[in-house]
Chain A
Amino acid sequence: MNDLVAKIQAILPQVAKPARYTGGEWNAIVKAHGDVDLKVAWTFPDSYEVGMSHLGSLIMYHQINRRADACCERAYAPWPDMEAKMRETGIPLFTMETWTPVGQFDIIAFPLLYELTYTNLFTCLDLAGVPLRSADRTEAHPLVIAGGPCVFNCEPLAPFLDVAVLGDGEFVIHEILDVYKQWKQEGRADRKQLLRRLAGITGCYVPAFYEPSYRQDGTIERYIVTDSAAPAIVHRATVDDLDAIDFPTAPVVPNIDIVFDRAQVEVFRGCTRGCRFCHAGMVTRPVRERSPEKVQQLAREIVRNTGYNELSLVSLSTADYTDVANTVRKLSTEMTCAGVNVTLPSTRVDAFSVQIADAVQQVNRSSVTLAPEGGSARIRRVINKTVSDRDIREAFKAAFTAGYKAIKLYFMIGLPTETDDDLRAIAEKGHWALEIAEEILGRQEAKGVRITISVSTFTPKAHTPFQYEPQIGIEETQRRQMVVKRACKDRRIEFKGHHSESSHIEVLLSVGDRRVSAALLRAWQLGARFDGWTDQFRYDRWVQACVESGIDIAYYAARRKGYGEVFAWDHLFAGVTKEWLIDDHMRAMAETEVTDCRWENCDVCGACMTFGVAPVLKPAKEGSL
C-alpha cells in the first residue's frame, strides 16, 4: 500500500460523508495509466453531490473514456472539513477512480456552471499543486481548461485558465486531445506552442492571447489579439445532430444520495423561447431535438445499466419537445411495471404541461411547480415570458383537477421597468390559485391548499438582451420583497424571498471583466469557499476582497450599460449577435414579444447562419410511438 493511500484511509473516517471521496461506483471507468497516452482529471468545482448530478460531466466522462488512448477520472472540490484534513496531512487533490494526485494528469478540466463555484477552482488547483496563474505554469504542469455556460464570459477567471472551451463539448474535446497528444509526443516543448495550436480550434479561447485596454471612465476601450494564431472572435463549438453523437448509457451510479439521483436522457438541446433574462436560452441556440426513437432506445439502455428507479427526460423545457406526450406515455407505460417512474424536470406554465407532468409524475404528487417569472402580463411581455394570464389560470385549474393540494410558484423581482403594481401582481397570482381551488375543490377542502410564492432577484447575464440592465441593490431588494409579502393576504400563501447578497456577487462575476480577477482571488485567500451554499457564503469577505483590490461592486452590478459599450465578452461569440441583443432589448422596453423560431419565423439572431445549423424538430416516425 503506498503512502498516499494510507494517508487518505486514515483521514476518511474523520470527515463528513467520506464516500464523497472514495470512488468505487458502479460504471466508474478505471484504466491502467500505462495503457493510455492522455490522462484527463475532470474536476468539478463543487461537492460530489452536485457534480455527480451534472449531465454534461457524465457526457464528457463518457466521450473521453471511449477513446482507447485516453482516460478520464473525476475529482470534486473537497468540503471545507476535508480540505482542512488534506492540508493538515499533506494530501493533494486526488481522483476518485485511482486516488492519483490531480497534478499528475495531463489536463485538468473544470466545468463551470455557476459563478459562485469559482473560488472552489482555486482550492482544487492549489491542492493539486498547480500554480493558480496560467502565466506561472510550465511544461511540467497540467493544461488547465474550462467549459460550461459560464465560460461565455470567463474574464474574471482569465488569468487562471489556459483554455476556455465554448459550446457543445462532444467534438471539440477530441480535437483538443489530439492536439495535446501530438504536442506530448513531440516532447512537451514550449507551452506557448501548445496554446497557439489550441487557439486554432473552433470553440477554444486562450485568454492569454487577448489584451484588454480601459478608458478613463473605467469602461473597456478594446481587446487586442496579441498572437497571430488566435482568432479575433472565438466561435462556439456546435453539434448539429444529437442522434449522431454518443450519449452515455452507462453513467456512473453514485453510492451516496446526490442532488439529481436518477437516470437522465437529454431530449433536446437549446431553447428559443427567448426569455430575455435567460443565459441558457441565448448561448445554446438553436433547438436540436433527439428523435423519439433514439430517446426510447437510450432510456431503456440507461435504466438497464444503472438500476435507477427514476428516469428523467431532460432539456431546458421538456414540455416543448415535439412528441413529448406520446414519448412520455410510452416510456411510462413500459417502465412502470419494472418499478421505474418517468419524470419531467421542469413544467411550462399551461394546462397541457401540468397534465403531462401529472400523467407520469408518480413520485412527489403532493405539489406542482410553475415558473411564471413575472407577476403582471405587462412585465411578462417585457421579459418575453410568453405566458398569458389565461395560461396561468388554466395551469392552476389543471393542477387542482388532478388532485394537487399545493402549488409552488417561482417569480423574479427587480426586472427591468418593474413597478410596485407588477410586484403586487405576483401576490395576486397566489390569490387566483386560491379562488380556483375553492371553485374546483369547494370551500371546505380548499382550506388545506398551500401556495408557495418564491421570489428571486433578477441577475443580469452576459450575452442576454438584459446584459445592459443593472441589478437592484440589497436594500431595494428587501423593499420589493416586502411589497410582495404584504400583498399576500391569505395565510395559505407562503412567501419566500431569496438571499440577495450572494446574487449581487453572482452579477459581479457574471458581467465582470479581467480586473475582477484580483477580487476573486483575494476572496478565496480570505477564505471564500462554496459560495453558492447559503451556509458557507459570507458577504463581508467579498466586500473586503473588493475593497482591497479596488473593485467597485456597484460599477459592475448596479450600472446601466450603454449600447455602444465594449463588453469583456464581445470577442466570444455565443450565437446571438450584439445587434440582435440591442434590438431585443429595445423590444423589451417597448413591451413587445418575439416569437419562437422553432415554430414561427426566423428572427435572424445569428446562431444558425454563423454555425451553419438550423432548428431540428424530430416528430416520431409513424408507428414508433
Chain B
Amino acid sequence: MKLRIRLAKQHTARFFSHLDIQRTLERTLRRAALPLAYSQGFNPHPRMSFASALATGASSEGEFIDVDLSEPVAPAEFVERANRCSPPGITFVEAREVPAKGDSLFSLVDTAEYRLTFSAASAAAVAEAVAAFLEREVVEVAKEGKRGTRLVNIREQVYELTVAGSLPEPDGARVVVNLRAVLQSGAQGSLKPETLAEGLAQVSPAFGDTVLVGTHRLMIYRREPETGMLKLPWEL
C-alpha cells in the first residue's frame, strides 16, 4: 500500500535541511510503529520518496512524501499516529492512498505556490514592481551553473504573481508585503524566490531596498502546459 502524505514544516522545523527532514520523518514513523516497507540489502531503509527539496529556513504547508507500507493502514489513522510521534514544527496534514506502482513524486510535480514576505518602503513600490514584471515577456537574470554563468528568462517561470496583502511594521517606517507566487519548481527547472526578488528589482527602480524576509510554500502541483490548470499531487 502506498500513501501520499501532505506535511507542514513550521517554526523551528523550518531550519531543518532536506536531509534532516528525511531522517526526522523516518524516525517519526518508526516511533509511531507504522508498518513501513523496507528496502532490501544490508542496510535496509523505509521506502519513502520526497517530492522536492525546500531551502533551509523556508516554512511550508505543502510538502509531500510517498510512503510504502507493508500492510494497509487507514490514511486518517496514519496521520493521527504519525502526529503523535512527530517533533514540534512537523505536522502530518493529510494522507491519501495512491496506486502502488506510479511514477515518482519528484518526476510528477513541476510547480510550487508560495507566499513570499517582503519588507518594503511602501506597498505601492512592490505592486508597481509586480505590474512591471508581468508586463514584460522577458526578464533575464544571470544564473551560475556548472558550465559558467548564463542568462535565464525567469519571466516564463512565473505563472502567477499577485499582491496578497500588506501591513505596516510596528515601527511604522516600513511595510510588510505578502505576494502569492506560482513558480516553476521541478526536474525541468526551478525558480527560487530569491531569484524572483532579483528580477523584480531589475524591472522596477521603485522596488529598491525591498528585502525578501520570509518564504512559505503553500502547495506543489503539476501544471497542464496548454490550459495552465494546476493539479494537486493526489490527482496525479
- A interface with B by C-beta (< 8 Å): 12-13, 18-19, 22-26, 253, 255-257, 304-309, 338-339, 341, 362-363, 365
Q: A24-B13, A307-B31, A363-B43 are in contact. Are A18 and B38 (CB under 8 A)?
A: no
Q: Closest CB of chain A to B163's CB: distance in Å?
A: 24
Given contacts A305-B31, A339-B30, 19 further A-B contacts (CB under 8 A): A13-B57, A19-B17, A19-B20, A22-B15, A24-B13, A24-B87, A25-B87, A26-B27, A26-B87, A253-B27, A307-B26, A307-B29, A307-B30, A307-B85, A308-B27, A309-B45, A339-B36, A339-B44, A339-B46
Nearest to A341 among chain B residues (CB) is B43
- B interface with A by C-beta (< 8 Å): 11-13, 15-17, 19-20, 23-24, 26-31, 33, 36, 38, 42-46, 56-57, 85-89
Nearest to B58 among chain A residues (CB) is A13
Please tell me if the beta carbons of A256 and B29 are within 8 angstroms of each other in the complex. Answer: no
Contact of A24 among B26, B28, B45, B88 (CB under 8 A): B88
For this complex, 16 residue pairs linking A to B, each with C-beta atoms less than 8 Å apart, are: A18-B15, A19-B15, A19-B20, A22-B15, A24-B89, A26-B86, A253-B27, A255-B16, A255-B24, A255-B87, A256-B16, A304-B31, A308-B27, A309-B26, A309-B27, A309-B30
Please tell me if the beta carbons of B88 and A365 are within 8 angstroms of each other in the complex. Answer: no
Task: Give me the 6 closest cross-chain CB pairs, A-B, nearest first.
Answer: A307-B27, A24-B12, A307-B30, A22-B12, A307-B31, A18-B15
Q: A255-B20, A255-B24, A306-B27 are in contact. Are A12 and B15 (CB under 8 A)?
A: yes
In the bound assembly, the distance between CA atoms of A18 and B15 in angstroms comes to: 6
Q: A257-B20, A257-B23, A363-B42 are in contact. Are A18 and B30 (CB under 8 A)?
A: no
Contacts of A365 in B (CB 8 A): 42
Q: Closest CB of chain A to B233's CB: distance in Å?
A: 25
Nearest to A308 among chain B residues (CB) is B27
Contact of B56 among A18, A257, A338 (CB under 8 A): A18
Contacts of B88 in A (CB 8 A): 24
Contacts of B45 in A (CB 8 A): 309, 339
Contacts of B12 in A (CB 8 A): 19, 22-24
Q: Closest CB of chain B to A258's CB: distance in Å?
A: 11
Nearest to B42 among chain A residues (CB) is A362
Contacts of A307 in B (CB 8 A): 26-31, 85
In the bound assembly, the distance between CA atoms of A363 and B16 in angstroms comes to: 25
Q: Closest CB of chain B to A87's CB: distance in Å?
A: 21
Q: Closest CB of chain B to A306's CB: distance in Å?
A: 7
In the bound assembly, the distance between CA atoms of A309 and B31 in angstroms comes to: 11
Please tell me if the beta carbons of A256 and B17 are within 8 angstroms of each other in the complex. Answer: yes
Contacts of B27 in A (CB 8 A): 26, 253, 306-309
Nearest to A303 among chain B residues (CB) is B30
Q: Closest CB of chain B to A22's CB: distance in Å?
A: 4
In the bound assembly, the distance between CA atoms of A338 and B37 in angstroms comes to: 10
Q: Closest CB of chain A to B31's CB: distance in Å?
A: 4
In the bound assembly, the distance between CA atoms of A18 and B44 in angstroms comes to: 30
Q: Closest CB of chain B to A432's CB: distance in Å?
A: 29
Contacts of A253 in B (CB 8 A): 27, 87
In the bound assembly, the distance between CA atoms of A362 and B41 in angstroms comes to: 9
Contacts of A13 in B (CB 8 A): 57
Please tell me if the beta carbons of A19 and B19 are within 8 angstroms of each other in the complex. Answer: no
Contacts of B44 in A (CB 8 A): 339
Nearest to A27 among chain B residues (CB) is B87
Contacts of A256 in B (CB 8 A): 16-17, 20
In the bound assembly, the distance between CA atoms of A257 and B18 in angstroms comes to: 12
Q: Closest CB of chain B to A301's CB: distance in Å?
A: 12
Contacts of A23 in B (CB 8 A): 12
Nearest to B41 among chain A residues (CB) is A362
Please tell me if the beta carbons of A26 and B20 are within 8 angstroms of each other in the complex. Answer: no
In the bound assembly, the distance between CA atoms of A170 and B15 in angstroms comes to: 34
Contacts of B89 in A (CB 8 A): 24
In the bound assembly, the distance between CA atoms of A23 and B87 in angstroms comes to: 10
In the bound assembly, the distance between CA atoms of A253 and B57 in angstroms comes to: 20
Q: Closest CB of chain B to A402's CB: distance in Å?
A: 13
In the bound assembly, the distance between CA atoms of A24 and B90 in angstroms comes to: 10
Contact of A306 among B15, B31, B43 (CB under 8 A): B31
In the bound assembly, the distance between CA atoms of A256 and B12 in angstroms comes to: 12
Contacts of B20 in A (CB 8 A): 19, 255-257
In the bound assembly, the distance between CA atoms of A362 and B40 in angstroms comes to: 13
Q: Closest CB of chain A to B63's CB: distance in Å?
A: 15
Please tell me if the beta carbons of B31 and A26 are within 8 angstroms of each other in the complex. Answer: yes
Q: Closest CB of chain A to B154's CB: distance in Å?
A: 23
In the bound assembly, the distance between CA atoms of A12 and B13 in angstroms comes to: 12
Nearest to B23 among chain A residues (CB) is A257
Q: Closest CB of chain A to B11's CB: distance in Å?
A: 7
Nearest to B39 among chain A residues (CB) is A339
Q: Closest CB of chain B to A194's CB: distance in Å?
A: 36
In the bound assembly, the distance between CA atoms of A19 and B17 in angstroms comes to: 9
Contacts of B13 in A (CB 8 A): 24, 255
Which of A18, A362, A363, A365 has the most CB atoms of chain B within a 10 A radius of its CB? A18
Nearest to A96 among chain B residues (CB) is B12
Nearest to A256 among chain B residues (CB) is B20
Nearest to A362 among chain B residues (CB) is B42
Please tell me if the beta carbons of B16 and A19 are within 8 angstroms of each other in the complex. Answer: yes
Which of B11, B20, B30 has the most CB atoms of chain A within a 10 A radius of its CB? B30
In the bound assembly, the distance between CA atoms of A598 and B180 in angstroms comes to: 70
Nearest to A261 among chain B residues (CB) is B23
